[in-house]
Structure 1
Amino acid sequence: MPFHLRFDSEDRPHCRFALSPLWELQEAVRTLGAPYRHGSHLPWLRRLRDGAAGLDLRPLRLLTPERGRGPDFLCPPPGGPATTIEDELDRVRGTAPERVRAELLRALAATPGAADTRHGRALLADPARAAADLAALLELAWKVLIAPHWPRLRALLEADIAFHAGRLADGGPERLFAELHPRLSWSETALTVRSRHGGPPEHTLDGDDLLLMPSAFVRPDVVCDVGPSWPATVAYPARGAAGLWSEPDGATPDALATLLGRGRATVLTALAEPATTTGLAQRLGLAPSSVSAHLSALRDAGLLTSSRYGHQVLYERTPLGIALASEAA
């Protein structure tokens, strides 16, 4: 059922972008529990099979009901693109015990019998210890599931933010939401969200920010949150997430390599989606300095353009670059 986020009619919507390591971790835990719903993540699942087998994630899964809301304190809203997992875990540990207990009760009540399980009783018996134990479990899960891959994941998310922030700056909400996700649509002063994850029929922001948060694991759906602990938030699949775990296949066309050199041709071929230097270096297994040199040469030749968002520079092909790469393929 669609629901609507309404903005003050006198102002343009004030959107800000952020990324959340804890959000990615908790969506990764969901993916681990239902791997065949997320075919694009199978290479990641195969890589962590042995390490994940040693994780007891039952307390976290008990608090992520199929229907209903999990504890908000386990995933505090991010402060911005520079939020770290350490920052977020510190906030989990510092949650007031009375809030911990109230949110645990709400989450456990969403699954019949959950509060009476061994883990459910232990969590409710000592809320302060529950917050510490859950933070420790999240930290361990982070080290096993996400930390080895975080540079690649972070590069993907930051590139997405740079891309869409540029679209918002250039064309306003009309251009942003036309490209962000098929289940989002903008009309005058309202954003309509069509998501199977529920939400109120309508919510008015009254001048508050709308938080936009790319995610590698939320695909293919979008999630809208208007809960008491979060600002109005739309989490959406990051651009390029479907190919996140794919490795270079060595398919750089020989004709393009002859024309540009193997390194530059490889970089141009890899830019099917806009990306940052770090993201390309992670994906191609090349030194960032080498990728940077190739990007500069391709940009100077008129095959790429670059745009800056904060400290990130996003590269994408020009029409000439697209034509050259397509012709040589």
Structure 2
Amino acid sequence: MPLTLHLGPDDLARCRFAISPLCQTHEALRMLRRPARHGYHRAWLGRTRRTLAGLDLSPLWLFVPRPGGYTPDFLGAPPDDPFPSIDDELARMRATDPCLARAETARSLACTPGLAESAAGRAALDDPAGTVRRLADLTERAWHALIAPDWPRHRAVLEADIAHRSRRAADGGLDALLTGLHPGIDWAGHTLTLRMYGDLADAQRADGRGVLLMPSVFVWPDVVSGFARPWQPTVVYPARGMGRLHSAPAPRPPEALARLLGHQRAAVLTGLTTPASTTELARRHGLAPSTVSAHLTVLREAGLLDARRQGYYVLYARTALGDALAEGRHPGAVSRGPWSSWVSRGGS
């Protein structure tokens, strides 16, 4: 039997999105343990290979078992805020109750026969507070080495996914939102069914707190669901556009769009399948940054792009109208809500 979450009125009213840098870090580490999932991230792996060689991740590998195993939820606990910082999440991780940490580490170690009785397993169980500290320190190192350099682009993709799904919800309600999350997720009769999971006896149940939905760059092709209490029921799913994040060539613009906007401007618009900076777009299209900047200004003034600062960069993303034109859809199919493809920090 698959895992099912029966959502009552309170759950439906409290479904929410969040972006978690801590979760992204641990999903990246889980992806490294599963070579078959590397396809979309080979360019990222190529850039980080030397960094990976200098990181001793063995203490974390104890708790990232092979497929079908359990990873302690405190390593990537569902965030309370929609857009937490990595520092806030690491502080929360370091404050994990030792009793909870021991219970979750014991469950994780039990997934690998003999691991709990090994020297490393016994040490982890004998000092759960120390285990939490060591894992948090190593997670922080992994974040800075592997995720932080690409985080502005990753976060932009995650925010664009949430904006897209929010538009679906605005147009078609929760049915439209929940039926399109992932091919392995079904929604019918107020029941969310995750067909990739078995319905375990101790699986987390919806209890009026709603379900937390978190897009991920690294979770493909799976869906991940948090099981253990006291965490809020959570579904982590592959973000829309993550497959084009690192290595996809710029798509060719439709001929009609090129005649309307000019080939270069149409190529810039069509090439923004994921948010990108002026410098990145200039490199991708072989244009001068000043030329790209001029095209971006015109496209933004026409309501086809939006922009948002991420750290030292300004990233550009298509609006709903820009999506429609780039994808060859009639603009009348665009939602009559706000055109912005971005979610503001306040969730407004």
Q: TM-score, normalised by structure 2?
A: 0.78
Q: Partner letter of residue 227 of structure 1? A: A
CA distance in 2, matches of 1:187, 1:280: 37
Paired position in structure 2 for 1:32: 32
- Find the counterpart in structure 1 of residue 160 from structure 2: 159
Structural mapping, 1:243-262, within 5 Å: 243-246=244-247, 248-249=249-250, 260-261=261-262
SS at match of 2:218: coil
Q: What is aligned with 2:327? A: 322
SS of aligned partner of 1:209:
coil
CA gap 1:268/1:226 in 2 versus in 1, 3 angstroms: same
Contact 1:195/1:222 (<8 A) preserved? yes
Distance (whole Å) between structure 1 residues aligned to residue 203 and residue 110 of structure 2? 25
Q: How far apart, CA to CA, are the structure 2 residues paired with 1:103 and 1:94?
A: 15
Opposite residue 237 of structure 1, the aligned amino acid is: P
Distance 1:253 1:163, change over 3 A: closer
Q: How does 1:72-87 map to 2 (within 5 A)?
A: 72-87=73-88
Q: Distance in 2 between matches of 1:138 and 1:318?
A: 36
In the alignment, does 2:192 pair up with 1:188? no
CA apart distance, 1:321: 4.5
The residue aligned with 2:45 is: 45
Contact 1:197–1:224 (8 Å) recurs in 2: no
Asked if 2 retains the 8 angstrom alpha-carbon contact of 1:14 and 1:208, the reply is: yes
Sequence identity (%): 46
Question: C-alpha distance in 1, partners of 2:278/2:125?
Answer: 43
Moved more, 233-242 or 216-225: 216-225
| Residue 122 (structure 1) aligns with | 123
**Partner residue in 2 for 1:23:** 23
Q: Look up the SS of the partner of 1:235 in the other structure.
A: strand
Residue 318 of structure 1, CA deviation: 5.8
Equivalent position of 2:277 in the other structure: 281
Distance in 2, matches of 1:124 and 1:171, equals 48
Instruction: Report the counterpart of residue 58 of structure 2 in structure 1.
Output: 58
State whether residues 69 and 110 of structure 1, in contact with CA within 8 Å, keep that contact through their aligned partners in structure 2: yes
Say which of 296, 312, 315 aligns to 2:300: 296
Number of residues paired by the alignment? 313
Q: Aligned-pair distance for 1:103?
A: 2.2
Question: CA-atom RMSD, angstroms?
Answer: 3.3
Contact 1:214 1:237 (C-alpha < 8 Å) held by counterparts: yes
**Structure 1 residue ranges without an equivalent (≥5):** none
- Residues 91-127 of structure 1, C-alpha deviations (whole Å, 9 max, x = no match): 1212233332232222212211112334323323322
CA contact (8 A) 1:159 1:314 kept: no
Q: Indicate the residue corresponding to 1:270 in structure 2.
A: 271
Specify the SS of the correspondent of 1:55: coil
Q: Report the counterpart of residue 104 of structure 1 in structure 2.
A: 105
* Pairwise CA distance, 1:136: 0.8
Is contact 1:205-1:232 (8 Å) kept? yes
The Cα offsets for residues 248-289 of structure 1, whole Å up to 9 and x where unpaired, read as 558568996675356532332124x5x5xxx23279445797
Change (3 A) 1:197 1:242: farther
- Contact 1:35–1:42 (8 Å) recurs in 2: no
Contact 1:210 1:232 in 2 (8 A): yes
CA contact (8 A) 2:217 2:238 kept: yes
Contact map agreement 2:24 2:216 (CA 8 A) in 1:
yes
Give the drift of 1:201.
10
The residue type paired with residue 22 of structure 1 is L
Q: Which amino acid aligns with 1:296?
A: R
1:6·1:202 contact (CA, 8 Å) conserved in 2?
no
Counterpart Cα distance in 2 of 1:206 and 1:116: 36
Q: Paired residue for 1:3?
A: 3
- 1:140-182: CA deviation from partner (whole Å, max 9, x where unpaired): 1111111111111111101111111121122112211232212
Counterpart residue identity of residue 84, structure 1: S
Deviation at 1:204, TM superposition (A): 5.4
In structure 2, runs of 5+ residues without a counterpart are 283-288, 309-315, 331-348
1:46 shift after superposition: 0.8
Deviation at 1:319, TM superposition (A): 4.5
Cα distance between partner residues in 2 of 1:42 and 1:235: 22
Q: Which residue of 2 aligns with 1:147?
A: 148
1:168 counterpart = 2:169 = yes
Q: Which residue pairs with 1:205 in the alignment? A: 206
- The worse-fitting range, judged by mean Cα deviation, of 287-296 and 3-12 is 287-296
